[in-house]
Structure 1
């Protein structure tokens, strides 16, 4: 009998106007560090199409620490952008740019998880 580790995918929720928005966090052990990918999942409960925000190497060997870094990075990025109540495509693009800047300023490297076969998710 095979037993699999079942771990729910973590996500972050933030409010803009009357709506709650969700960002999914996926971490993967990529050798000497953990890779982290953040994806904007849209307004909670509406089943929006996911939009990639950023993928990076946070410089840690532990997924829970990488998730804590993601919380810090997203919080800092949200403070830098002014989102409209609708959170349209332009808002999501501005959030992605801000998040990229925050990640790099924190000393983490951006990462393309689809760059090689072994790094693909």
Structure 2
């Protein structure tokens, strides 16, 4: 299963069964690092579901490096997730849990993009 980074709006695609699925990448400068959020967007071309999968700090100051890390993280998580060919809500939740595990194993910190600075410290 190959994961591809697409431009100009950064998103990743992967194939499960006969369908190509899309994961959107949102990066945000949050001070000393880049915050990264991954959202499951559904089957490519059939509408945008935008289900949050994981938010984390990859420990880089560069958006392109954060996007490259997202490719690595999603690839590893997909290898572990073993999703069904239907890719239902359970599969998306499983992918989110696998992503959270993978980013933490890589030394990244999970991040709550809705927390205030006072909440984070």
When the two structures are superposed, what TM-score results if normalisation uses the length of structure 2? Answer: 0.88
Q: Distance in 2 between matches of 1:103 and 1:49?
A: 23
Structure 2, unmatched stretches of 5+, are 1-6
User: Shift in Å at residue 9 of structure 1?
Assistant: 2.2
User: Shift in Å at residue 50 of structure 1?
Assistant: 1.2
| Partner of residue 54, structure 1 | 54
Q: Distance in 2 between matches of 1:49 and 1:101?
A: 23
Decide which structure has greater helix share.
2
8 Å CA contact 1:40, 1:50 repeated in 2: yes
Q: Residues 98-117 of structure 1: matches in 2 within 5 Å?
A: 98-116=98-116
Q: Distance in 2 between matches of 1:37 and 1:52?
A: 8
| Partner of residue 30, structure 1 | 30
Task: Say whether 1:20 aligns with 2:20.
Answer: yes
8 Å CA contact 1:56, 1:111 repeated in 2: yes
Answer with 55-64 or 42-51: which moved more: 42-51
Aligned residue pairs, count: 111
8 Å CA contact 1:9, 1:26 repeated in 2: no
Structure 1, unmatched stretches of 5+, are 1-6
1:27-72: CA deviations, max 9, x gaps?
A: 0110100000000000011114210000000000000000000000
User: Shift in Å at residue 8 of structure 1?
Assistant: 3.6
Q: Distance in 2 between matches of 1:48 and 1:9?
A: 14
Structure 2 residue matching 1:114: 3-state secondary structure: coil
8 Å CA contact 1:55, 1:111 repeated in 2: yes
Q: Distance in 1 between matches of 2:106 and 2:116?
A: 25
| Partner of residue 76, structure 2 | 76
When the two structures are superposed, what TM-score results if normalisation uses the length of structure 1? Answer: 0.88
